[in-house]
Structure 1
């Protein structure tokens, strides 16, 4: 069964231009073409590869690491260690991003509590909220440097 670029775009979540770009830079393909129209015709293997690339893209993996991932995927077990290391490296990056975002969330909540206390004209709650802001600011500065 072959699929059009629209079919694959819908099933992979990648836009038509992204699919063409991925073929152009060698992440997939070459994609077969309909003999009469010249339009791309994707197979199940192409879709599998594109779905994996869509997941990597969603996690912020760059083109070069995607290229390495695809090459390792083709090698199978022979490249399992390198594949593991590539994925673990990105897992560490994502974990660091999560930790940074948690600090940002703490700051936003602390500031919202401060402004809520001010809105309610609750001096005790405002003082407590200010202490919360003061406690998170050093972490915030460390996270944005």
Structure 2
């Protein structure tokens, strides 16, 4: 059985060493085996698989409690399939909302850039049109800021 150090586990998972220690501390992984002579952590392939899953969940913005639920459901196997699906779909909905917000942000930035482009070119008609387009999106942006 191949065992790796915390540094190697961090490199392979993309998670920092403090994050690996924290995930063990809060029960997301482990307990991690220790080298009998040094006491240093030694990660097994199963631990590395768990870290890959957690790294993906973290990258998607999944919080610690949902990570914990996800890991517990993984251990339960098929009987937890519905719960896993529901957990992931909740996060997919959150991501969809974030995408909508980012689209409004992008549209605002593009419209403001068009305004400044028209000003730089001295194109009064294009500037007026761009100003109207900025004014059109500003209420949506303000609503998101105050939500």
TM over 0.5: yes
Q: Stretches of 4+ moved more than 3 A in 1? A: none
Which moves more between the two structures, 45-54 or 132-141?
A: 132-141
Q: How does 1:36-51 map to 2 (within 5 A)?
A: 36-51=37-52
**RMSD (Å), alpha carbons:** 0.7
2:58 corresponding residue in structure 1: 57
C-alpha deviation, 1:128, in angstroms? 1.1
Residue 143 of structure 1, CA deviation: 2.2
* Structure 2: gaps of 5 or more residues: none
Deviations 1:14-67 (A, max 9, x none): 000000000000000000001111110001110011111011111111100000
1:77 matched residue in structure 2: 78
- Does the 8 Å contact 1:6/1:16 carry over to 2? yes
TM-score, length-scaled by structure 2? 0.96
| Count of aligned positions | 145
* TM-score normalized with structure 1 length: 0.98
Q: Which residue of 1 aligns with 2:127?
A: 126
Q: Specify every segment of 5 or more residues in structure 1 that has no aligned partner in the other structure, as ranges.
A: none
The residue aligned with 1:33 is: 34
